[in-house]
Amino acid sequence: MATTEPAVRPPDNAGKKILMIMTTGPEDPDKTYAPFYTAALMAAMEIDTTMYFLMHAPELLVKGRADSLPLKKGGNLRMFIDMALENGVKFLACSESCRDLCDIPEGALLDGVKLVGSATLADLALEADSVISF
Amino acid sequence: MATTEPAVRPPDNAGKKILMIMTTGPEDPDKTYAPFYTAALMAAMEIDTTMYFLMHAPELLVKGRADSLPLKKGGNLRMFIDMALENGVKFLACSESCRDLCDIPEGALLDGVKLVGSATLADLALEADSVISF
Amino acid sequence: MATTEPAVRPPDNAGKKILMIMTTGPEDPDKTYAPFYTAALMAAMEIDTTMYFLMHAPELLVKGRADSLPLKKGGNLRMFIDMALENGVKFLACSESCRDLCDIPEGALLDGVKLVGSATLADLALEADSVISF
């Protein structure tokens, strides 16, 4: 679906930016895949899409973690994360959350995830055409 | 209140669009009525208001479900849903959430609810003047 | 960090407004401090920052309550609330939530918190350059 729906749309999303703020972590797996799926779809629609992970959400991005997160619909979270990354969604993790709340050691996050500070969230929010919080 | 407050306001909201994204379902009833109440109020203020339901939130819209959701403040959720619908709030439910997560059979949703795909969320978010996530 | 990061930034945020909508209360303390910290930082970046508290979130603002909310990272929530207030973040609490859901008696909220109705949320959301929901 992520690849077929955009085909019938005019390419009028160029330059548009959506920021998706993720605050849900592995404590509620079924609330985590829709955001990745939606972000992947947005990127396929040529929207510049960034996901910012804070609170317990960065734990979803620890290597190997998503592979063991089963979903009610079948499969696991990893395929949705990969779909988003492959479609060009940018993944930013809050360095304070990683350090103070999630105890994520350096190098534990998936390749392609960038650590940033909280000030970045303010900049991203103001730059975005739309902010969605999950 | 929804009907009296707007009376003292200038009608300067014409053409304004608010998208409200609902991700909370019947698992936490007291977190569900404020969004419907607020959306009803926004519509009464002549704001073009859309509620998009995903994750477990579409379960709130299954016929009969809200009637049995008691609220701490008294009453049940149904009256808030009806108030929003009567005021012209548009209700869109994510078809993937209905199918994969909520197991909602066709025809089970309240009259007036429209099923849409995830790509619609991207379009709505970009069109809206403001996006609120609950 | 809130005081050093903005020093290296151009003051191009003047006039920008961010609305932060808080729906999490004392039931999940570790999900509460990042918003106050981030809001404090935004205000330090010269962004006009407003936090709007509804559902159980106003309980965080009852005098004495945050002092007894321990955080995993150490300390308690109070210091983050104070940091936000000192930096000029505006605190608005939903009067309906305070009355119907939180049972907060008049005068129980921290100095500096203003009680407002739901219509204010609509106005704030439309005025803001960015809305973030936590």
B96 chain-A contacts, CB cut-off 8 A: 34, 37
Task: Quickly tell me which residue has 């104070």 as its tokens.
Answer: C82
The confidence band for A12, taking pLDDT boundaries of 50, 70 and 90, is confident
Q: Could you tell me which chain C residue has the CA closest to the CA of A96?
A: C34
Q: Is the Cβ of B131 closer than 8 Å to some Cβ of chain C?
A: yes
Extract the tokens encoding A134: 């999950």
Nearest CA-CA partner of B34 in C20, C132, C97: C97
Q: C43 to each of B56, C86, C90, how far by Cα in Å? A: 35, 9, 9
**Residue C39: what pLDDT?**
97
**Residue C1: what pLDDT?**
45
The contacts of residue A34 (CB under 8 Å, 6+ apart) are: A134, B54, B55, B94, B96, B97, B118
Q: Is the Cβ of B116 closer than 8 Å to some Cβ of chain A?
A: no
| ipTM here | 0.86
Strands (E), C23-129: 48-53, 90-94, 113-116
| A132:B119 CB<8 A | no
Q: Kindly report the nearest CA distance between residue A122 and chain C, in angstroms.
A: 6
Helix C33-44 to helix A118-127 angle (10° resolution) is: 70
**Residue B46: what pLDDT?**
94
| Dihedral sign for Cα atoms in the order C13, C16, C17, C18 | negative
**B15 burial type by CB count under 10 A (0-12 exposed, 13-18 middle, 19+ buried):** exposed
Q: Is the Cβ of C118 closer than 8 Å to some Cβ of chain A?
A: no
Can you tell me the mean pLDDT for C105-120?
93
**Residue B70: what pLDDT?**
82
**Residue B1: what pLDDT?**
45
Query: Domains in chain C, please, with CATH?
Result: 17-133 (3.40.1260.10)
| C94:B6 CB<8 A | no
Can you tell me the mean pLDDT for C4-33?
81
Q: A63 to each of A78, C27, C64, how far by Cα in Å? A: 10, 29, 41
Distance CA A106, CA B40 (A): 47
The confidence band for A106, taking pLDDT boundaries of 50, 70 and 90, is confident
Can you tell me the mean pLDDT for C46-73?
93
Distance CA B52, CA B58 (A): 9
| A31:B55 CB<8 A | yes
What is the average pLDDT value for chain A, to the nearest integer? Answer: 90
Identify the three-state secondary structure at position A102.
Answer: coil
Residue pairs spanning B and C at CB distance below 8 A: 55
The string of pLDDT tens digits covering residues A37-78 is 999 999 999 999 999 999 999 999 999 999 988 888 788 899
Task: Quickly tell me which residue has 């809200």 as its tokens.
Answer: B66
Degrees, nearest 5: CA angle C3-A113-C23: 60
User: What are the residues facing A131 on neighbouring strands?
Assistant: A19
User: What are the residues facing B20 on neighbouring strands?
Assistant: B51, B132
Can you tell me the mean pLDDT for B15-29?
93
